Structures are given as structure tokens and as C-alpha cells.
Amino acid sequence: MHYGSFTAEDESGAKACRELADCFKDLDIFKIVHMTHYAYCSKIGAANLELLSPDMLVAENDLRKNSPFFMRNFKDVSGEFYHLPFVAALRFQRRVGFSRRTNRLGVTGSITYKMKDTDFLRYFGQDELQPMRRKIYECQAELSSLIDSFIYDLDEARQKESALTSSDDLDVTRAQAAAKQRNYYNADIVEFFNSYRMFAVPEEVCDLPGISFIEGMACGAAYFGLDNPMYRDIGMVPGVHYVAYDGTLEHLLERVAYYQQHADELEQIAEQGYQIAHTTLSSTSVYSKFLASLEQMLPRP
């Protein structure tokens, strides 16, 4: 088994990935590519994959079916697309009763570095990969009656560093950034999800879900996410397994305010989400289906 990337955040790094594709293009092996971070330098990444000619593409959404941005550059890439959902580790369990939880929306997720790829900027008209996380992060004080933000801004330190000229100031800034990062990644996220009746991990604008959405559901909190086929395709029905909103902050706040006053309805959604997280979307179920599909595709000896 070999591992490598097909693209990178910067153009030079993405172009360097072509060397790996060139090495593997003619090998008689089964090639699987996970499409994580496909939005970075997508034109270059797509060209690298066309050269590689993969047998299977994998992501937490069937991007070929559900993502216009993906099809903009990757429509000619070979390989069957497999929708492989996130799964929750066993430690993500319901520990706190619903009525004892905070009646606000707990929001988590990191804000990654601002996008530099010109194709991304042209298509989306902005430079944020997770724009809803940015909006909530910057407005968290005025949203405090509805939302508790536990969002980490990874880009903040980079922006501060670029504005500095003194090496001493740079060392201080990096130390402060490292402390913030440790605070975020070392936090007990299981406790966080068990503290709230409802939560959100705002999606990436390129049609991929936040990594922790299934973890919060597994802890018994009601998930708030987009009304998007990526959820329906894995059996999650809006209004049944999660609360859907239209992608605007205004509508998200409306939904939160409504469910703050309708705890019984919210608890039913949280329960249905909990059940699907531990059955259909459990690691045992998801991985067994994936391995069965893989076995059917692998060439027989």
C-alpha cells in the first residue's frame, strides 16, 4: 500500500503532486483516492488525477452526483465514486440526559487558512472554505443568547504573522497561537457534545460535511445542517434525523430560536439522530458495506 496527495494548498505543492501520479499511472494496482481537500488548486489536482486514472474515488458526499463545483474540474477523472460517511469512535456516547443540557446551539469546527486558488475564488466569490464558521466566530458575542461558539480560527495566526517584522514579536505570536491550538484540540469534545441539546459543525462550501457531525449525534445532541443530498443519501431525513436550514445565518438563528421553545420536538430529532448514528451510520455498518463494495470491485486472482 502506498499513500500520497493529489493536490495541495499552494500551486507549487499541487504541481509537485503530479510526480506521484506519474509514478503510479501505469502500475497494475487498484487505486483509491480520498477526495479530502479536493477544493485546493482543483484544476491542478484534477489534472493529476486524470494522469493517475484511479479506480475509486471516496468522500463523505457523492461529489460526482451532488457537487457542481466538483464537476467543474473533475468530471473527466476516472473511477467509481463511493460515498463513505464519517463514523464516530466508540468514546462518543450519550452521557447526559436531554433535559439537563444547555438550551443553545453549540457550534464547533476549525476555520482553515483562507483559500488562494483563483478558480475557487472566481467560483465562490469569497476566500473562506467554511464561511458559516467565520460568520458565527466573528459575531459570537451578539449571538450568545442562541449560540455558544467553540470555533478555532486557524488562519488568525497566519494573518498576524504576515503583519509582523520583529522576530521577537513573531515568537510571541507563534507561542500564543500554539496555546490556542492546544486548547482547541485537547478539549473534551465528548463532554462538549453532551453539554448541548443541539449543535452544528458548519459544512465546507465545496459540498463536504464537517468531520464531527456524526460524533455529536452519537452523543445525543440534535444536529443542525444544510438541506443537502449528502445527508439524504445516507438516510438522514430533515426534520426527522436532523434540523435543516437554508445556509444563511438568519435562517439558522430562526431554527435555533424555534427549537429553544419546542424542546419536545427537538428531543425527538436528537433521539432519531442518535439511533441512526449507532445503527446505520455506525463504524461496523459503514465499514462492512465499504469493504463489501471494495471486494466486488477488486480483480480476482
Q: What is the pLDDT of residue 160?
A: 66
**Confidence category of residue 298, pLDDT binned at 50, 70, 90:** confident
Mean of pLDDT over the chain: 93
As a whole number, mean pLDDT of residues 33-41 equals 96
For the segment 19-32, what is each residue's pLDDT rounded down to a tens digit? 999 999 999 999 99
Q: What is the mean pLDDT of residues 167-183?
A: 65
Tens-place pLDDT, residues 63-98: 999 999 999 999 999 999 999 999 999 999 999 999
pLDDT at position 177 over 70: no
Answer whether residue 179 shows pLDDT above 70.
no
For position 183, what pLDDT does the model report? Answer: 75
Calpha distance 167→52 (Å, rounded) = 43
Residue 240, C-alpha cell as written in the block = 426527522
What is the mean predicted confidence (pLDDT) over 18-45?
A: 95
Q: What pLDDT shows up at residue 25? A: 93
Q: Find the mean pLDDT for residues 20-45.
A: 95
What are φ and ψ of residue 153, in 5° steps? Answer: -95, 95
Measured CA to CA, the distance from residue 208 to residue 197 in angstroms comes to 24
Q: Taking residues 259-287, what's their average pLDDT?
A: 98
Which amino acid does the sequence have at 94?
Answer: R
Please give the residue that has the higher pLDDT: either 273 or 157: 273
Cα separation, 163 vs 167, in Å, equals 12
**Cα 137 to chain centroid, rounded:** 17
Reported as a pLDDT band with limits 50, 70 and 90, residue 182 is: confident
Looking at CATH, the fold of the domain delimited by 98-283 is given as Rossmann fold (3.40.50)
Predicted pLDDT of residue 180: 72
Instruction: Provide the whole-model pTM.
Output: 0.92
DSSP state of 149: E
Answer whether 133's CB lies under 8 Å from 242's CB: no
Within the chain, which residue ranges are assigned CATH 3.40.50.2000? 98-283
Distance CA 91, CA 218 (A): 9
pLDDT value, residue 195: 99
CA distance 137 to 183: 16
Q: CA 18 to CA 15: how far, in whole Å? A: 6
User: What per-residue confidence (pLDDT) applies to 31?
Assistant: 95
Q: Is the pLDDT of residue 164 over 60?
A: no
Query: In this model, does residue 301 exceed pLDDT 90?
Result: no
Give the chain's radius of gyration (CA, Å): 21
Percent of the chain past pLDDT 90, that is, above it, reads 85
Question: Which pLDDT score is estimated for 155?
Answer: 81
Share of the chain above pLDDT 70, in %: 91
Which pLDDT does position 71 carry in this prediction? Answer: 98
Nine-digit cell string for 93: 456516547
Q: Is the pLDDT of residue 296 over 60?
A: yes
